[in-house]
């Protein structure tokens, strides 16, 4: 972890540190299954906040467009260093994520049988609920050593 941050901004190391501690505490307190529900609710709250603040536009746009807006917000916030979206169709996209701020803590939480927050995923699932949609995710690439994760998002009607 870096010792000093001269600009006073929160560092990725610090954010990853906080993510680990909060997610582990939630998992220990309520159990892994209930922790997942807490993080899903956090995604719903976060999505509602993004809409309320006008950072996400939903009127007249497709579900895929809303997901891409969320991706752009997260990239712009520094949650990830870079996110590349390949829109395969109106119902499918491939997302490449680089410099994931919470990658180390998420791996550690998973290895220790605690629930990671999956914040981006939960924000995006909350958005899909607005459209009575859901998604299936396939992890295509996981290169922890180079900090690259690739997922395929296939949208479908909610069940």
- Cα–Cα dist 52/43, whole Å: 14
Q: Which of 106, 104, 128 is nearest to 56 (CA)?
A: 128
| Confidence grade of residue 5 (pLDDT, cut at 50, 70, 90) | low
What residue segments make up the domains of the chain, in order of their start? 12-157
Phi and psi at residue 97, to the nearest 5°: -115, 130
29-40: average pLDDT: 97
pLDDT of residue 59: 92
How many residues can be counted in the chain? 159
Predicted pLDDT of residue 140: 82
Return mean pLDDT, the chain. Answer: 92
Q: How far is residue 49 CA from its own chain's centroid?
A: 15
pLDDT of residue 7: 66
Tens-digit pLDDT profile for residues 43-70: 999 999 999 999 999 999 999 999 999 9
DSSP H or E segment with residue 153: strand 148-157
Answer whether CATH 3.30.1380.20 is correct for domain 12-157.
yes
CA distance 23 to 42: 12
């Amino acid at each position: 972890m870096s010792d000093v941050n001269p600009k006073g901004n929160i560092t990725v190391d610090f954010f990853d540190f906080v993510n680990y501690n909060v997610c582990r505490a939630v998992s220990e307190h309520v159990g892994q299954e209930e922790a997942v529900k807490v993080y899903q609710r956090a995604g719903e709250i976060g999505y509602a906040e993004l809409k309320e603040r006008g950072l996400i536009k939903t009127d007249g746009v497709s579900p895929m467009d809303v997901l891409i807006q969320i991706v752009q917000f997260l990239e712009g916030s520094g949650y990830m260093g870079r996110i590349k979206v390949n829109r395969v169709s109106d119902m499918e996209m491939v997302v490449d994520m680089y410099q994931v701020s919470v990658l180390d803590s998420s791996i550690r939480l998973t290895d220790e049988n605690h629930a990671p927050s999956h914040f981006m995923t939960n924000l995006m699932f909350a958005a899909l609920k607005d459209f009575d949609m859901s998604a299936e995710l396939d992890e295509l690439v996981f290169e922890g050593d180079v900090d690259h994760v690739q997922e395929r998002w296939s949208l479908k009607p909610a069940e």
